[in-house]
Amino acid sequence: MIKKLSLILSLFIVSSTAFAQNWGGGIDDEDWSFGFNFQYISAEYKILKKQNWQSPFYELPNSFGVSYDPSSGTQVTGAINSISSKPSQGFGLGFVMNRRISENFDLRATPSLIFSDRIVSYEYELVPSIDLGNGQMKNFQTLVDKKVQATMFEFPLGIKVKSNRLNNFRAYWLGGAKYSIDIASKKKTFDEGEAAINKLLKNQRNYLSYETGIGFDLYFEYFKMSPEIKLSYSMNDILQHDDTAFANPIDKLKLRQLTFSLIFQ
């Protein structure tokens, strides 16, 4: 009797373990697997300034450019006290393409559409208003926020290094590179004919970033869900260096992006 109970118990444990290992729809056993993801994004710039970044700017006559020379035209801004970038939020949607290399290594691509604004804030010294004649006064702002509106197509490609599966849980590390291209309408960056103070701050249309992150594979009966947090950093300067009061003080502009994703496969 004891032997029969022991045999039944052993079979039950083995079958239960096998059932648990099949959770997730057996997706880890497939060479190729696909899915989708939802992303929450926090983005900010790392700003490297020029040596003379605090100098005020003057508008060139018969031109939309600016100069550091006080005799060149009308003053556009006062001296700059600070240039900063605060985190701004966005979201994204994408697909997942996963190629199994071995039990603990995958090659993964997650092409995504990203909607994310970025902000650079300029704080200026207070400048007295200027009388332009005919009853018109030119007033100066002490705080200007320049928003860079971005609609990006991103193609991250990386190596996923996975731990051994423990029942219905597995941890992983992810590292790789990402190509980004801005597909927003040109109307969002068109500022021809605008006064110097109304010029936009613009980014390069495409750039590369490197990224790293961690996540967890959680196995349910018919699918796998992976919460993931990832940090990316642009490799090169992404600022479009045009002759404006907002681009000229900046030597290099790099993008830091923190992404929290929910991935379903």
Poorest-pLDDT segment among 22-26, 84-88, 198-202: 22-26
pLDDT tens column, 218-234:
999 888 999 999 999 99
Give the integer Cα–Cα distance in Å for 133 and 54. Answer: 29
Write down the mean pLDDT value for the chain. 86
AA letter at 265: Q
The domains of the chain, with CATH numbers, are 25-264 (2.40.160.20)
Candidates 71, 80, 157; CA nearest to 120 is 80
Give the integer Cα–Cα distance in Å for 237 and 182. Answer: 15
Q: Tokens 């960056």 label which residue?
A: 189
Per-residue pLDDT, 132 = 66
Per-residue pLDDT, 4 = 42
Average pLDDT over residues 144-165: 93
SS (H, E, C) the chain: CHHHHHHHHHHHHHHHHHHHHCCCCCHHHCCEEEEEEEEEEEEEEEEEECCCCCCCCEECCCCCCEECCHHHCEECCCCEEEEECCCEEEEEEEEEEEEECCCCEEEEECCEEEEEEEEEEEEECCCCCEEEECCEEECCCCEEEEEEEEEEEEEEEEEEEECCCECCEEEEEEEEEEEEEECCCHHHHCCCCCCHHHCCCCECCEEEEEEEEEEEEEECCCCEEEEEEEEEEECCCCECCCCCCCCCCEEEEEEEEEEEEEEEC
Residue 20 has pLDDT above 60, yes or no: no
Instruction: Judge whether 174 and 158 are in contact, CB under 8 Å.
Output: yes
Per-residue pLDDT, 22 = 56
pTM: 0.81
Instruction: Judge whether 101 and 31 are in contact, CB under 8 Å.
Output: no
Residue 64 has pLDDT above 90, yes or no: no
pLDDT-derived band at 38, boundaries 50, 70, 90: very high
Per-residue pLDDT, 5 = 37
Per-residue pLDDT, 24 = 65
pLDDT tens column, 109-143:
999 999 988 999 999 998 877 776 676 777 788 89
